[in-house]
Amino acid sequence: MGSINSLIRAGIKSLKPYSSARDEFEGESAVFLDANENPFFGPLNRYPDPRQRQLKKVISELKSIPVENIFTGNGSDEAIDLLIRAFCEPGVDNIVSPDPSYGMYEVSSAINTVDFRKVRLNNDFSLNTKAIRKVADKNTKIIFLCSPNNPTGNSFGRSEVLSILDWFEGLLVIDEAYLDFSEKPGYSLDVLAKQNLVVLQTLSKAWGKAGIRLGMAFACKEIIEVLNKIKSPYNINALTIEEAVRTLHDHQEKERRVQEIIRIRHQVREKLSEMPSIKTIYPSDANFLLVKVDNALEMYNYLANRNIIVRNRSGATGCENCLRITIGSKIEMEMLTDAIGNYEKEHKL
């Protein structure tokens, strides 16, 4: 493949980025009169580190990935948007992704006026790599793969995923938002060898910190540099940096909670498999179960009327009458299965 540089949009390549006061000065100082901050109200009176050095050091140690290969964003959603903005020329380039998958790839493409080409997953929700290759052309700059996939819950085969890198000249972005709930290995270390591979991870799922908005992208230095060039200067706020550093230090707590969620996932699967209204429970490597019922809208409304909100994914390709159920606490899951039991009684199932 050609160099990463040749994939970057011309206007971005020539862009002179905004340089913030804290970009220009490195180090400790007693007197900061460079950023028009307020001298009172400390410590949040100061702008945060635009390069998130402390946070990236923690991520680097945890993931065994050098700091220069790490981008941190306001959720992985920011990284998705910035990748499109850096590499896809509006109205010219296109993006390819399996269908169904995480909705933000399509939304971000549309916001950036980039053609989004969907390739239907096989009936068992595995990747149709042949169809992906057929749909991609010389203007395909990004292929987004979400593994484990949202909303189907399955992981894609490693050899199929890597086979795309054999022929694809653009960026292969693998979104691993749900990887911690899977026993299969991820691809983050592969970015050190594969120049056009980008891996996305997040603190929103296994780490339990959706509220602080912290996403990570791992990639070669050239890709990380361009993301840093076009991000807003202080994209991660000081409170998020502080909480993320604290959270990432508690790796054991995260692992304990992940194991608990996986245990509950197994228990709920067992319970649901005995319930007559549940027709299919799809395999899941994630913190949710996709289930097929007879009438998804009716069951969704029934549960919503009892203050239990699941996601009706009936509109997603190949997911007719499917509900996506997030694995909650044991008590929440009991409330769910009790409510489905009542639904069945009322419907004489």
Ligand X SMILES: Cc1ncc(COP(=O)(O)O)c(C=O)c1O
Residue number, 72 or 321, with CB nearest to ligand X: 72
Q: What is the DSSP letter of 31?
A: -
Q: Please report the sign of the dihedral spanned by the C-alpha atoms of residue 47, residue 209, residue 284, residue 344.
A: negative
Residue number, 328 or 341, with CB nearest to ligand X: 328
How much of the chain is in helix, strand and coil states, percent to nearest 5?
Answer: 40, 15, 40
The tokens describing 18, both together, are 């905004």
Q: Rule CB under 6 A: say whether 190 interacts with ligand X.
A: no
User: Which residues are CB-contacts of 331 (< 8 A; sequence separation ≥ 6)?
Assistant: none
User: Which residues are CB-contacts of 243 (< 8 A; sequence separation ≥ 6)?
Assistant: 209, 212
Number of residues binding to ligand X, judged by CB under 6 A: 12
Residue number, 288 or 302, with CB nearest to ligand X: 288
Q: Rule CB under 6 A: say whether 77 interacts with ligand X.
A: yes
Edge-first strand order for the sheet with 322-326 is 278-281, 288-293, 322-326, 311-312
Count of Cβ atoms closer than 10 Å to residue 110 Cβ? 12
- Rounded CA-CA distance 217/244 in Å is 15
Q: Rule CB under 6 A: say whether 76 interacts with ligand X.
A: yes
Q: Rule CB under 6 A: say whether 106 interacts with ligand X.
A: no
Task: Kindly indicate which of the ranges 3-11, 71-79, 116-124, 293-301 contains the residues binding ligand X, using the contact rule CB under 6 A.
Answer: 71-79
Q: What is the closest distance, in whole angstroms, from the C-beta atom of residue 137 to ligand X in the complex?
A: 25
Q: Please, which of residues 136-165 interact with ligand X by CB under 6 A?
A: 146, 150
Task: Kindly indicate which of the ranges 69-77, 248-256, 297-305, 337-345 contains the residues binding ligand X, using the contact rule CB under 6 A.
Answer: 69-77
Q: What is the closest distance, in whole angstroms, from the C-beta atom of residue 6 to ligand X in the complex?
A: 28
Residue number, 285 or 340, with CB nearest to ligand X: 285
Q: Which residues on adjacent β-strands are paired with residue 293?
A: 278
Q: Which of 52, 140, 196, 202 binds ligand X (CB under 6 A)?
A: 202
Q: Rule CB under 6 A: say whether 170 interacts with ligand X.
A: no
Binding residues vs ligand X (CB under 6 A): 75-77, 102, 146, 150, 175, 177, 202, 204, 210, 215
